[in-house]
Structure 1
């Protein structure tokens, strides 16, 4: 697998083809990525069969926790690459920018403990003009179906927990995935407004019964009703953390957007609003209230509420995976023109990351001479990648040795390329909500 046995970061495909694991020339690597074929159905079924770790739930049973997020392959100078969109990014000074590129939606399973490992299960490129909520719902549905088909999610197991950051239309996602055993936890903006159940009609008035009850304005504490449960914890990183939950809260949906084709009035999608207040934040930043919306109408006590927000904080483990894919495995290094080639390379990098996860038990006793013994739970992806060759030196390789041949004639001398590529427009970014 390209990139997994390289100790240095992958800088380009030409140097990657010189590694002994490749067994081919640099031209064959470019041809395979530009014109090759990957059986995605078979690859996805194999990824779904690889065991994923479970997180301890509030009742002591293990549950699968998935994180979904978008990472951008920025291509600002690739004017001839089609299907680019304006990707929302942040500069080093914290200022938001819109840069052309290819946004990819990843789904990963989280692992317990302090770790930078995640199990990448699926990736989809978001095209300009796509309904990102529908694409994300289809992606999560396929991942859940594969976990159920392979037996990793049983009918008696706790529901799969899906955590995501702000920007997703979590209420519509909950409606689209209402027939699956999943619970969605998403961060919401602090300017949102929710409503309690309407209850019975008040007074002898005639007409349509009310659909919405009392307002819950997140920024206005005067509108906050009595909480269903409240907890307080003392954490070293965040100080005194106070959490409250308001049950059976729904947003007011309009007959537009994703509910244009809905028969009748928009549905009432009830969930639990969880508010989190920390005593302090790292780097001496001022703490601000954190608000979450959970697709379950009411929590089963304070332990389940604490489980929700603690799993949301673990969502940031996928950011370590994105950094490892880009900085070490060279996900965004190739200068590919066609988006189909970028999709093939993305799946190759995802398979390479899965291979490192499978080799992790073999790398426990296989360390460099100057490294100290490390328990399996503390092995980092970079540590496993550095010892990949030593751990897999006796394993079989599916690729045959390369056949001796001479280089092709190439382009005739003096002839220029007259097939000029077409400048492609940049579409609008409609991902993450």
Structure 2
């Protein structure tokens, strides 16, 4: 097996195209919902510390309903000098273009919803992928500060430049929150009532650092919808902290807001996928020394997982052996 992994060949591009052409899971309105995620594969090379690992960026399609399966569409190994956001953006662009080429999306159909966690820069991704038919929904940390829309311009006899940003919206300080534009309440199976509040045209204040350090020209506004989701309790009556997410979509209505937080909760299904990768399919079992061998092994695991997903009527649902806390959706 090691000889095969070290010296063999896998046509990863062909496999990517085949995966994009499979019958794929969709949300009730027919839209596709890919979500990126990262995991590490341990390195066993001589002379390296045991903690060394290769980080991989995966993209998986999420699914609604009483299931925790996903469909892996892509995997890319991150190099030590790679910008994780840039790699994710390029990876998502390639995935979306393959889905379109495979006939999975056509003009006039709902945009593809890309669901990210707090480790991804959703604002940067929204800007870089703005020419694609995608709608991003990304989790943001609960200690963030964003800006409200600038107030209407009022004549000032002293002149001066009008403000570019409105007042601060501090996630941790409710006194800075205006009345939400949309509020929805949904009864759920595991969390009792779920209340979502949404504010329109909320945006981060961009600065010339991190992802925007090399941006040419004036920094701009990327306005969107900020959603705060609060449920009554987690399973076993545990306290449930609020979850914040942001989407570059403006003018969202109640259906848009509910779709955003429900799509985000489905992202927890990726944890079940990675658990099956490790515990059942043995992704972390081989002691690999070369990154090319790790790539081949990763694609073999993806192929095996896809076979299991396609045969899932005969396979026990992943969620049955997983903690209820991580189960997304209803």
Do both share a fold (TM > 0.5)?
yes
- The whole-number CA distance in structure 2 between the counterparts of 1:137 and 1:172 is 9
SS of the residue corresponding to residue 267 of structure 2 reads helix
Q: Map Cα deviations across residues 119-153 of structure 1 (whole Å, 9 max, x no partner).
A: 11001112223110000000100000000001101
Number of residue pairs matched? 319
* Contact preservation (8 Å) 2:68, 2:319: no
In the alignment, does 2:74 pair up with 1:68? no
Tell me which of 348, 367, 391 is aligned to 2:300: 348
Give the aligned partner of residue 325 of structure 2.
Answer: none
- The whole-number CA distance in structure 1 between the counterparts of 2:95 and 2:117 is 19
Tell me which of 76, 81, 86 is aligned to 1:134: 86
Displacement of 1:249 after TM fit?
0.7
Q: Map Cα deviations across residues 71-111 of structure 1 (whole Å, 9 max, x no partner).
A: 12234x64545xx9x9xxxxxxxxxxxx4311111111112
* Contact preservation (8 Å) 2:67, 2:319: no
The runs of 5 or more residues in structure 2 that have no matched partner are: 321-330
Give the aligned partner of residue 131 of structure 2.
Answer: 179
If the length of structure 2 is used for normalisation, what is the TM-score?
A: 0.90
Q: Map Cα deviations across residues 148-193 of structure 1 (whole Å, 9 max, x no partner).
A: 0011011111111111221211101111111111111111111111
Q: Map Cα deviations across residues 371-393 of structure 1 (whole Å, 9 max, x no partner).
A: xxxxxxx853699xxxxxxxxxx
Give the aligned partner of residue 274 of structure 1.
Answer: 227
SS of the residue corresponding to residue 354 of structure 1 reads helix
Greater RCO between the two (CA within 8 Å, min separation 6)?
1
Give the aligned partner of residue 323 of structure 2.
Answer: none
- The whole-number CA distance in structure 2 between the counterparts of 1:40 and 1:53 is 22
Taking structure 1 as reference, are residues 239 and 151 closer, same or farther at Cα in structure 2, changes over 3 Å only?
A: same
Displacement of 1:291 after TM fit?
0.8
* Contact preservation (8 Å) 2:149, 2:166: yes
Give the aligned partner of residue 11 of structure 1.
Answer: none
* Contact preservation (8 Å) 2:113, 2:134: yes
Give the aligned partner of residue 410 of structure 1.
Answer: none
Tell me which of 146, 152, 156 is aligned to 2:104: 152
In the alignment, does 2:214 pair up with 1:261? yes
* Contact preservation (8 Å) 1:80, 1:337: no
Give the aligned partner of residue 24 of structure 2.
Answer: 52
Give the aligned partner of residue 140 of structure 2.
Answer: 188
Taking structure 1 as reference, are residues 285 and 205 closer, same or farther at Cα in structure 2, changes over 3 Å only?
A: farther
Q: Which has the larger radius of gyration?
A: 1
Give the aligned partner of residue 315 of structure 1.
Answer: 267
- The whole-number CA distance in structure 2 between the counterparts of 1:237 and 1:357 is 25
If the length of structure 1 is used for normalisation, what is the TM-score?
A: 0.70
* Contact preservation (8 Å) 1:255, 1:265: no
Matches within 5 A, 1:195-234: 195-202=147-154, 203-234=156-187
- The whole-number CA distance in structure 2 between the counterparts of 1:298 and 1:333 is 48
Taking structure 1 as reference, are residues 382 and 37 closer, same or farther at Cα in structure 2, changes over 3 Å only?
A: farther
- The whole-number CA distance in structure 1 between the counterparts of 2:268 and 2:287 is 28
* Contact preservation (8 Å) 2:45, 2:290: no
* Contact preservation (8 Å) 2:184, 2:195: yes
SS of the residue corresponding to residue 103 of structure 1 reads strand
- The whole-number CA distance in structure 2 between the counterparts of 1:219 and 1:67 is 27
Tell me which of 192, 203, 211 is aligned to 1:250: 203
- The whole-number CA distance in structure 2 between the counterparts of 1:303 and 1:163 is 17
Give the aligned partner of residue 420 of structure 1.
Answer: none
- The whole-number CA distance in structure 2 between the counterparts of 1:382 and 1:215 is 41
